């Protein structure tokens, strides 16, 4: 292990000698890991920008010191952990250099890792045995036993920060260092809430279905890692406090990533006063940590222009590109099943590619469940006619944000025609704070000069930065190469599955 520390120190020396500054970009290894594949993508050297430069020798030195402390016994060095793995990847060339803000987050993740390893038995992380009782019978049984709450002795972690600062990558680095035998789950927040609502439907007959659902979730996972924690739906907001109150009482440890600090969740939402106790609960059961990096690593990839077509008159080019991807297959209208028996109508689909007009996917009453169903069957979406968003189409903007979130989570590919660049699409969407900085109307200004389509919406104004960032990354050369690599291994998976079946 000490050899690793020396290698990291040597890396810092080399970087100091060359005087180079690199960003950090980790190809989506998580998607392949989730499929059980032993696959490591090569590191990608990012474009260097003076605005994002960092003194590399300081970063490498800080990483070396932290790794040495972990390896020399100031933590559970023998057990490894995210900080050690981060150093190993840099030394192996899988990551290029580091980020001081990310190192601060890694220290918090290492702390949590060490505490979980130390108290694994007390937390019952590795003692899962499937109960013979169903969720409902367990709930009825608990009514007789009246068990006391059993909060975990370990506090969780709530990570928040700007878009593209590496929150998801760091959480995954932590998650995949934990023993695979532990009761743990890593899931996108949208997907998690869809699952909760589906379970509630299934247990409608009992007097307190939420307690049953919390019992089922905590049986499956004591460590719950939720990515992109963002509350916009009033139905979610009203159940989160009771749901997580039950989960924490059952010993669940939460690790969450978000673009928002806990105090800013569901800001301006309906009946927010009923949501405030949930914020207090999260702050009590989790250590809240901000990632302060100003670097958006998604935007530091090399851009491609081939699949993002600016101009609503380019529908013919989009359809031609779509047909090339479909190949010899014939595209036809079909249905996709989503949760609770609902079906999504796909205008054209073939060979893993689906074609929609924007209004068919974002102007209709669709949501995350429909989009998850879409990307379970299709890996590529051709979307024709993305408009510039404003007050007149705010609801469609919300749906588009959700669509891009789901696409990004599922590593989908996007072909589109749009009225403007990703930034221009959301230029009229502003937060209350942004709106206050816009010069107010005076006697010298006519109403004709006002932007009547300006949409002042805190939630959407905050979410747009994430969507712009993700659209930029989805359109990058690196992302396209990663998507192609995932598609290349799918036939191997299918062949392996077929072999097992025989």
pTM of the predicted model, to two decimals? 0.57
- pLDDT at position 495, please? 53
pLDDT tens-digit readout, 410-427:
889 999 999 988 889 999
Whole-number Å distance between alpha carbons of 271 and 268: 9
Return left, alpha or beta for 353; rule: phi > 0 is left, psi -120 to 50 is alpha, else beta. beta
Is the pLDDT score of 124 beyond 60? yes
Residue % of the chain over a pLDDT of 70: 70
Dump the DSSP string for 375-424. Answer: HHH-SEEEEEEEPPP-GGGHHHHHHHHHHHHHHHHTT-EEEEEESS-HHH
Q: What is the mean pLDDT of the chain?
A: 77
What are 236-286's pLDDT values in tens digits? 898 999 999 999 999 999 999 998 899 999 888 888 899 999 999 999 999
358-368: average pLDDT: 94
Three-class DSSP category at 304: coil
> What is residue 150's predicted lDDT score, i.e. its pLDDT?
79
Q: What is the pLDDT of residue 151?
A: 87
CA distance 126 to 122: 10
What 3-state class would DSSP assign to 347? strand
Top pLDDT among 321 and 445 is at: 321
pLDDT digits 0-9 by tens, 63-106: 444 444 444 434 444 458 998 888 888 787 776 555 666 788 88
Band (pLDDT 50/70/90 cuts) for residue 174 is very high
Token digits of residue 180: 């695979």
| pLDDT value of residue 450 | 54
Task: Give residue 38's Cα distance to chain centre.
Answer: 22
> What proportion of the chain, given as a percentage, has pLDDT over 90?
40
Distance of CA 280 to the CA centre of its chain: 23
How far apart CA 223 and CA 186 sit, in angstroms, is: 9
pLDDT at 385 over 90: yes
């Amino acid at each position: 292990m000490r050899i690793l520390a020396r290698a990291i120190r040597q890396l810092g020396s080399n970087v100091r000698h060359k005087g180079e500054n690199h960003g950090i970009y980790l190809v989506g290894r998580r998607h392949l890991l989730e499929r059980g594949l032993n696959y490591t993508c090569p590191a990608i050297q990012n474009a260097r920008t003076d605005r994002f430069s960092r003194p590399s020798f300081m970063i490498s030195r800080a990483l070396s010191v932290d790794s040495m402390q972990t390896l020399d016994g100031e933590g559970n060095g023998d057990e490894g952990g995210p900080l050690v793995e981060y150093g190993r990847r840099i030394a192996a060339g899988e990551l290029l250099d580091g980020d001081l803000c990310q190192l601060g987050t890694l220290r918090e993740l290492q702390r949590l890792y060490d505490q979980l390893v130390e108290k694994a038995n007390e937390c019952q992380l590795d003692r899962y045995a499937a109960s013979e009782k169903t969720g409902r019978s367990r709930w009825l049984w608990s009514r007789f036993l009246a068990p006391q709450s059993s909060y975990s002795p370990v506090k969780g972690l709530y990570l928040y920060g700007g878009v593209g600062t590496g929150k998801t990558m760091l959480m995954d680095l932590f998650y995949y260092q934990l023993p695979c035998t532990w009761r743990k789950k890593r899931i996108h927040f949208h997907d998690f809430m869809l699952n909760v609502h589906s379970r509630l439907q299934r247990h409608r007959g009992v007097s307190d279905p939420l307690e049953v659902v919390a019992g089922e979730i905590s049986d499956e996972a004591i460590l719950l890692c939720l990515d992109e924690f963002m509350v916009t739906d009033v139905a979610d907001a009203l159940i989160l406090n009771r749901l997580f109150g039950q989960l924490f009482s059952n010993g669940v440890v939460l690790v969450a990533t978000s673009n928002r600090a806990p105090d800013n969740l569901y800001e301006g939402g309906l009946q927010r006063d009923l949501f405030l106790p949930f914020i207090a609960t999260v702050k009590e059961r989790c250590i809240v940590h901000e990632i302060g990096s100003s670097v958006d690593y998604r935007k530091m990839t090399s851009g491609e222009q081939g699949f993002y077509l600016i101009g609503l008159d380019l529908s013919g080019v989009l359809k031609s590109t779509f047909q090339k991807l479909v190949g010899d297959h014939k595209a036809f209208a079909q249905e996709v099943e989503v949760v609770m028996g609902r079906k999504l109508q796909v205008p054209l689909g073939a060979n893993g590619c689906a074609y929609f007009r924007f209004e068919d996917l974002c102007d209709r009453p669709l949501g995350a469940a429909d989009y998850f169903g879409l990307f379970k069957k299709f890996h590529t979406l051709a979307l024709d006619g993305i408009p510039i968003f404003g007050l007149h189409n705010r609801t469609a903007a919300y749906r588009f944000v959700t669509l891009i979130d789901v696409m990004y989570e599922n590593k989908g590919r996007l072909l589109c025609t749009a009225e403007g660049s990703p930034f221009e699409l959301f230029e009229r969407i502003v937060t209350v704070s942004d709106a206050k900085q816009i010069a107010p109307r005076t006697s010298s200004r006519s109403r004709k000069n006002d932007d009547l389509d300006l949409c002042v919406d805190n939630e959407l104004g905050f979410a747009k930065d994430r969507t712009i960032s993700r659209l930029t990354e989805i359109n990058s050369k690196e992302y396209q190469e990663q998507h192609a690599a995932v598609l290349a291994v799918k036939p191997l998976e299918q062949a392996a599955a077929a072999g097992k079946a025989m």
